Structure 1
Amino acid sequence: FLAVLVIVAAGAGLGMGLNDGGELFTGLAAYEHHYASWSSANGLSAKLDAFIIGSANLFSSFGIPQKYGAAFIVVFIVSFANTTLDSATRIQRISLQEIFTGRDGTIRRPFHNRYMATLVVVVAAAGMTFYRPGGQGAMVLWPLFGSLNQLMAALALGVVTVYMAAKKLPVLYTLLPMAAVLVLTLWAMAENLAGYVKSGEILLVVISAIILILTAWLTGSSVSALLRKRH
C-alpha cells in the first residue's frame, strides 16, 4: 500500500505542479522536467524531492497548504527511517545472538550481553556506511539485495516444509518450490561471486562467501530436521 502511495505521489502528484527556478511545470511537462534523464533522477535527493513535492501537491488538493503538507511528509520520512533503523538493529542483534547460541540454549560470551551484541551490529553497520565517501558504502550491498530476498523466500519455505513434516502433512507442495528457488539463487550467487573475484570487489566477495556458508548451514539444519520428522 505504501509503495502505491509513493508511486502516485512521485507520478500524478508531481504532475500537479513542479516549481523549478521560478518556472512552474505541470502535467507531462513536470514529469519530463524532473525525469529528463536517468542522471537527473538519480540519487536519493532527486527521489525524495519527487515524493515530497508530489505528496505536498496531493495534500493541497484537500485544502492543506503545500508547506504544511511537505513538512508532514518530511516528518513521516524521518520517522519511517528511524523505525526501520531501530527494527533492523534489533533483528540483527537477535540474529547475531542466535548464531552464537549453543545447543543448551545459552548464548556464548560476550554476545550474551544485549548491549555488546548491539554494539557489534552498530559498529559493523557504521563501518559499512563509511566504507565509501559520502556515506555511500552501504550501497555496495545493493547487488546482493535480490539474492538475499530469494534466499529468505527459500528458507521460509524450508521452515514451512519442516513444520508440515512434523504435522505428518504432504511436503512436496513446499519442498519442490524451495528446492527450485534455492538452487537457482545459489547458482546466481556463485556466478556473481566469481564476477566479484575478477573485479576485485573484496567486500562483496567476503559477504557473499559468508552468506553462502550460512545458507549451507541453515539448509543442512533444515534437511536434518526434515529427516528426523519424517522418521
Structure 2
Amino acid sequence: MSRILVTGAMSGIGAALTAQLRSDGHTVLTLDRTPGADIVADLSDIAAIDSAAARIEGPLTGIAHVAGVPGTAPPAVILAVNTVAPARLNHLLEPKLADGAAIVIVASVTGHRCLWPEPQVRALIEGGAQAANAIAATVDGVEAYQISKRGALVWASMAAAALHPRGIRVNAVSPGPVETPILRDFEASIGKDRLDAAAALTGRHGRPDEIAEAVRWLLSRASRWVNGIELKVDGGYHALRSA
C-alpha cells in the first residue's frame, strides 16, 4: 500500500496535498508543528527532527517536504526549516524508503535570486545546522529565505543523484506567490508592490491546490520518468516577464 509523509501538512499547500492524496486512496502521515498532526515536531530543532524520524515507520513510498517559513522569521529559523530540516529528515528516513519511492521538496522561484555558486550552497547543505547558524549571523531574513530555497533546489539535485541506484526519484516544485496564510508575511518581506505586480502580470496569485496538484503528480507513477528537475508553478510569470 502507498504510504506518503507530508510535512507542513496542517495548512496551505500541505493541507491541500494531504486532502488530494487521501482522495486518491493513499495513506498519508502528517508532520507539522501544529497539534493535530500525526507527528508534532518543530523542524527548526534538530533534536525534534531526529525524534520525529525515529517515530516514523516504514516503508514509505513518498515524502513531500512542504513545511517552510517566510522571510519574516529569524534567519536561523529560515535556514533550519527550509534547508537543514528536509535534508536531515530525508537522510534519516532513507532506510525506511521503499525502492522506487518518490520525493518532492517545495522550493520557490525566489531561490533563483540567490546568486551563490553551487559549491557554496552544497557546503551549506553538507554542513547542516552548524553551517546554517554561521550563515544566519551574517544575513537578514530576506536573504536567508533566498539562500534557503536555493538550498532546497540544490539538495533536490544532489539527492536525485544519490538515490538513483534505488530507483528513488527526487524533484522540486517552485511556486510563485500563493494565497496561503503566510502570503502577508511575504508582502512584508519581499514587498507588496512586487507581489501585486506579479499578480497583475499573471492575472492572480496561485492557489494552494494548484501547487499541491503539481506535487501530487511528481509523487505519482505518472511522472515515473521525471527525476532531478525543478518544476516552476508560477502561472507563467517568468515567461510573461521575459516576453
TM-score by length of structure 1 reads: 0.26
Higher strand share: 2
Q: Which has the larger radius of gyration?
A: 1
- Structure ranking higher on relative contact order (CA contacts 8 Å, 6+ apart): 2
Structure with the larger helix share: 1
With the length of structure 2 as denominator, give the TM-score of the two structures. 0.25
